[in-house]
Amino acid sequence: MTRRRWIADEVSGNHAAITDNHADHLIRVLRVRTGQEFDIATGTLVRRGRVVLIKEGRVEFELGEEVSASPTLALTVLLAIFKFDRMEWAIEKCTELGVERIVPVIARRTDAHLASAAGKRAERWRRIALQAAEQSRRVAPPEIAAPIKLPDAATLTAPLRIVLAESQQETLLRDILASHRDGAILLAIGPEGGWTEVELELFQKAGWISVSLSTTILRAETAAIAATAITLSQLG
């Protein structure tokens, strides 16, 4: 039977712990017992962990042998902020697929209320990413960056920078990825309604490559998941 994986909040030598609400779920919902074994991700690797102490808000493990784990692939998704329930779903699924980093972006068509609330929402997004990372047996959750504005996002650097654009029908994502051999990738996904022409010009001037997924128009969260899956399939 496959052991459930947990991402440790604390690691010291051959001991690790999960704490606070993270531990409460294990204690109250899963009813963990002393002596049970789990896979414990320590940030750089995964080791077998045996429960040695259970108390309020804390479960401690003694760490044993290393367990094989899939490497994280170097993909950063820039996700223009859209309706929070849909965005949370996109973050969860992009985490399960294996993205390394997610950067929320305030675009011109981002609703003003959502933009103002995004900073306070980031911690919730990190909790969602942590849960999704454990469910999908990752070594670590993706980094969820603090929200940034589009002009700052366009200045981020990587060997390959791609922006999805509905207006770009001549160049497909899969074609650009086919010629990419090595190095990190930045993938920018627009908000509901897409990027404005001014924003696309900003990306172009900064050296980003505009691509499309297909001839159909996708919801923002669908585009994020589809583009992530295609890109990670190519990287893998």
DSSP the chain: -PPPEEE-SEEETTEEEEEHHHHHIIIIIS---TT-EEEEE-SS-EEEEEEEEEETTEEEEEEEEEE--PPPP-EEEEEE---HHHHHHHHHHHHHHT-SEEEEEE-TTS-HHHHHHHHHHHHHHHHHHHHHHHHTT-SSPPEEPPPEEHHHHHT---SEEEEE-TT--SSBHHHHHHT--SS-EEEEE--TT---HHHHHHHHHTTPEEEBS-SS---HHHHHHHHHHHHHHHH-
**In the prediction, which pLDDT does 11 show?**
94
**In the prediction, which pLDDT does 81 show?**
97
Query: Confidence class of residue 183 from pLDDT cuts 50, 70 and 90?
Result: confident
**In the prediction, which pLDDT does 73 show?**
78
Task: Return d(Cα 90, Cα 108) in angstroms, integer.
Answer: 20
**In the prediction, which pLDDT does 149 show?**
96
**In the prediction, which pLDDT does 170 show?**
78
**In the prediction, which pLDDT does 176 show?**
92
Kindly report, residue by residue over 126-149, the tens digit of the pLDDT.
Answer: 999 999 999 998 989 999 999 999
- Do the Cβ atoms of 40 and 46 come closer than 8 Å? yes
Kindly report, residue by residue over 53-102, the tens digit of the pLDDT.
Answer: 999 999 999 999 998 877 777 999 999 999 999 999 999 999 999 999 99
Whether 18 has a pLDDT exceeding 80, the answer reads: yes
pTM of the model: 0.86
% of residues, the chain, pLDDT over 70: 99
Q: Where in the chain is the domain with CATH 2.40.240.20?
A: 5-67
Task: Return d(Cα 116, Cα 39) in angstroms, integer.
Answer: 39
Q: Where in the chain is the domain with CATH 3.40.1280.10?
A: 75-235
Query: Confidence class of residue 167 from pLDDT cuts 50, 70 and 90?
Result: confident
**In the prediction, which pLDDT does 66 show?**
92
Whether 25 has a pLDDT exceeding 80, the answer reads: yes
Which residues share a beta bridge with 93?
none
CATH of domain 75-235: 3.40.1280.10
Query: Confidence class of residue 1 from pLDDT cuts 50, 70 and 90?
Result: low
- So what's the architecture of 5-67 in CATH? Beta Barrel (2.40)
**In the prediction, which pLDDT does 213 show?**
86
